[in-house]
Structure formats: C-alpha cells, structure tokens
Amino acid sequence: MPYTITEKILLQHTPGKKDIHPGEFIWAKVDLALANDITAPLAIEEFRKSGAKKVFDTRKVVLVPDHFTPAKDLRSANQARMLYDFAKEYKIRNYFEVGQMGIEHALLPEMGFIQPGDLIIGADSHTCTYGALGAFSTGMGSTDIAASWITGHAWFRVPQTIKFTYTGKLKKWVSGKDLILYTIGDIGVDGALYKAMEFCGPVIEKLDIDGRLTMSNMAIEAGGKAGIIEPDEVTFEYIKEATKSQGHKVTRKRPSAIDYRLWTHLKSDKDAQYADIKEYDVSKLEPQVACPHLPSNVRPVGQLKNVSVDQVVIGSCTNGRISDLRAAAKVLKGKYVKSCVRTIIIPATQTIYKQAMREGLLDIFSKAGCVISTPTCGPCLGGHCGILAEGEVALTTTNRNFIGRMGSPKSFVYLANPAVAAASAVVGRIAHPDEVVSSK
C-alpha cells in the first residue's frame, strides 16, 4: 500500500499495525516529549495528580524555560522554578537553564536531538518545526504531554497530507519565510486544518536547513498538524554537524554511527494519496509581508512603503538562527536605525549568540543602534522584552500577528523576513532591502 512520509512515520511508531490510513486513531510511541515554562507547569500538575512515580524515559523528556525567561516577574520565576524542581526530582537529564538554553525549537535541532523518522510531541504549537528534518512533530495540550511522560505514548488521528511543490529560482532577499508566508496567503489560516503539509520540489531541495525550519515552523499558521520535508543529503550533513559539535551533551539513545542510508526509505511513495496538491513557480516572488491581523493577510513588500514602524524585532523560533542574523547584519552593516524605531535582536540560542559574537554580527548590531537580548521568546507572545503600546506598529520576524499578540490589542504587527526587517529599521517604514543595500 502506498504511503506519504507522514503515514510511514506514524505506522513505524505503532507496533503491531500492518497498515494505516488517514482519519484512523492510533496509540503511538513518542521519541521525545517537550514542554516550556508556560506549558510544563500544567503538565507537571497533571502528572502529580496521576500518582505516577517516574517518567517513561528520563532521556526523552525535555524541559526548556524559554518564554518568560529570564524571569520577568514573580509569577514567571515560580513557573520556571517548577521545571527545575521537577527535572531534579525525576532525574530528567535534558533540562536547559538560562545561559545554556535557547528558544526550544531552535535549541533541539541545534543540539542533535532530532532525527529523521522521529515522532515528537511538545506542549507548544510550533513543535511542528522539526518536520524540516524529516520527523513527524506536532503540538499537543499539556495534559496530553503529561500522559506521554507517564506512558511514552500519545493518541493521534492520522492526518491527510497536502503536497506543496515549489519550482523556479528564488530572487535575492527571498527566503523560506517568504515561501511560507506566500503559501499561507494562498490557502489561508485554515487551509491545512489538521493536515500534514509536505514541502517539496527543486526550490526546497536547494533551501538550507534554516530556511526549511522556518517553513515547517509556520505550518501551524495554516492550521497544519505538521510541516514535513523529506530528509536528504542537506539534512544528513546538518545532523552530522549538530551531533559532532553538540552531540556529547545530548543524553538520548541514537545509532552509534549516523548513516544516511538509514533514512532513504523516508520518502513519500510516488502513488501516495494526497488531500490536495499545490504547485508554485516562485521565480517572480518578491519578499512577502503579512499584514495585521492574520498571517494570511500577505502582500509583496513593495506595496507597503507607506507603513511607518515603531519597533522591529529580529529573532524567535522562526527567524532567530545564525543565517537570519547574517542576513540582517548584511543590511545593517555601516547603517544606523531610525531614531524613532526600537530595534531588538534576539539570537535564538546561546550557541547562535556566541557564533554571532565571533563573526562580529553583534558589533554590527550595536553600532547600528540595536539592542541585543539573551535568547528568549520574549516579545513574540507579548511576554516581555518589547511589548507594544496602544497604536504602535511593529515589523517582526516572528510567526503570528493576531490582535494583541505582542501587547496592546490596539497595536499592529507585520511579519517579514530578517532582511526586510533590518531595512525597515533603517528607513523607519516597511522597506525592501534593496532600498538600503547597494546592488553593486
């Protein structure tokens, strides 16, 4: 029977089953279950109510305090402390404190936690990020996460899959962020409701892992259950390097040697059944901007030159990786941000922060008049480090722009890629990078 990559992974994690089909409910094994300082406290409470004496595997539970940390107030401090105490009591090895950690969805791939074919759940909607590495990963509620910590399993309804194929050649300044914004603009915020979004085609094959992570990250903004990309040599090289540089810190069982041949079966069959197939020629695609108050309200950057901005944020689990910071620095080098524009740079992990320091990127940002934060989700969810006042307008590289998402319900949030964000900080309004950087 032909299957999509999503169906293959779910079938592999459901022992005793010989076939699988969309709409079916399954009780599947999980390879990793994570939570953060907002979602873990409720999971911990439910775990304790159950009377459980231990977690199913101390290596497969991950706790990352990243949303309100460093703690912004007493309540957030207490929530973060719950994670620390729980990890210590139940000997959970993969707890990451401030100074070691980062935004969870950037941290886990960077540290080599994610492998193709994994089934990963997290008490955070953007857990779908890991599909960029050929895993099936999805967000769940805190009570489901608590149950998985006890049993090592979770209930799933097997999703249908929509196939998205991208052809052509990307223009300068166009990235994975623009591809996913354009896609969401086409299908809408419910266009992939409870479906796996499978990204493929020659454009995806040439896209680096950071760009792929950005696309999978925002699958949830189209209502997707998951966003997945078949693993290839690009995936293999990324995981090999992550394991080589960080793997000694990862306490999780894995093959003694990483072999790309282990993953060659993780491809959708040619005659697999899809709910829909979407094809895009992106050769003429310009940088995209999502306007208030939906990620689907997308327009080309050139149509928004009259929109002034009060704040620019470059970071988040969507666009806070090293390539994102390099793109922003390329625009900001030798420039200075408009005096009326607060510009906040947030490297997604401590490793990215240190890499940006070594490359001189932080120096470029500080000389340009930006403020540089320790890794945190911070302003993305209106938590701290850049909350908007009434009437203020922000251009940000984050993933959501719903009413009140970053502060006042009377503020306005636009979403864009890091180069557009950097150019807008310099000009003081939404701007194409070519307005700031000479094409010579």
For residue range 323-332, list pLDDT tens digits in order: 999 999 999 9
271 and 312 share a domain?
no
Are both 158 and 274 inside the same structural domain? yes
Same domain, 318 and 240: no
Stretch 178-196: mean pLDDT = 97
Q: Are residues 224 and 360 in the same domain?
A: no
Q: How confident is the model at residue 243 (pLDDT cuts 50, 70, 90)?
A: confident
Has residue 440 been placed in a domain? no
Q: How far apart are CA 44 and CA 143, in angstroms?
A: 9
Same domain, 242 and 334: no
**What is the structure's pLDDT at 94?**
93
pLDDT value for 24: 96
pLDDT digits (tens, 9 = 90+) for 355-405: 999 999 999 999 999 999 999 989 988 888 899 999 999 999 999 999 999
159 shares its domain with 267: yes
Strand partners, 163: 198, 277
Does 195 fall in a domain?
Answer: yes
- Other beta carbons within 10 angstroms of residue 272's beta carbon come to 18
CB 107 within 8 A of CB 101: yes
The yes-or-no verdict on residue 248 having pLDDT over 60 is: no
CB atoms within 10 A of CB 54: 10
Residues in CB range of 210: below 8 A, 6 or more apart:
176, 321, 322, 323, 324
Kindly state whether residue 181 falls inside one of the protein's structural domains.
yes
pLDDT given for residue 203 in this prediction = 98
Residue range 3-22: mean pLDDT, rounded: 95
Q: What is the band of 169 on the pLDDT scale with cuts at 50, 70, 90?
A: very high
**Using CA of residue 314, residue 315, residue 317, residue 320, what is the dihedral sign?**
positive
Mean pLDDT rounded to a whole number for the chain: 93
Domain end call among 280, 307, 327: 280
Quick: pLDDT tens for 37-63.
999 999 999 999 999 999 999 999 999
The mean pLDDT of 204-215, rounded to a whole number, is 97
More confident residue, 296 or 245: 296
Note whether 36 and 165 are same-domain residues: yes
Domain boundary among 227, 262, 280: 280
pLDDT of 244:
72
Domain end (from 255, 280, 305): 280
User: Is residue 124 domain-resident?
Assistant: yes
Reading the block at residue 62, the tokens are 């991950």
Q: Which residue has the higher pLDDT, 60 or 261?
A: 60
| CA pair distance 22, 20, nearest whole angstrom | 7
Residues 203 and 165 in one domain: yes
Instruction: Report the pLDDT value the prediction gives residue 265, as an integer from 0 to 100.
Output: 80
Residue 7 to residue 20: CA distance in whole angstroms: 7
Total domain count, the chain: 2
The answer on 160 and 248 residing in a single domain is yes
Q: Which residues of 244-265 are buried (b: 16+ CB within 10 A; e: fewer)?
A: eebbeebebeeeeebeeeebee
Q: What's the rounded Cα separation, in Å, for the pair 86 and 129?
A: 26
Average pLDDT over residues 257-264: 61
Q: What is the pLDDT of residues 331-355, one digit of tens each?
A: 999 999 999 999 999 999 999 999 9
Distance (Å, rounded) from C-alpha 430 to C-alpha 417?
A: 11
The answer to whether residues 267 and 311 belong to one domain is no
Asked whether residue 351 is assigned to any structural domain, the reply reads yes
402 within domain boundaries: yes
Owning domain of residue 364: 288-435
Q: Are residues 259 and 297 in the same domain?
A: no
- Within-domain flag for 396: yes
Q: 101 or 162: which carries more pLDDT confidence?
A: 162
Are residues 297 and 407 located together in one domain of the fold? yes
Q: Which CATH number fits the domain that encloses residue 363?
A: 3.30.499.10
- Rounded Cα distance between 28 and 24, Å, is 12
How far is 179 from 288, CA to CA, in rounded Å? 8
pLDDT digits (tens, 9 = 90+) for 98-137: 888 899 999 999 999 999 999 999 999 999 999 999 999 9
Indicate the pLDDT class of residue 255, thresholds 50, 70 and 90. very low
Of 228, 254, 208, 215, whose CA–CA distance to 111 is shortest?
Answer: 254
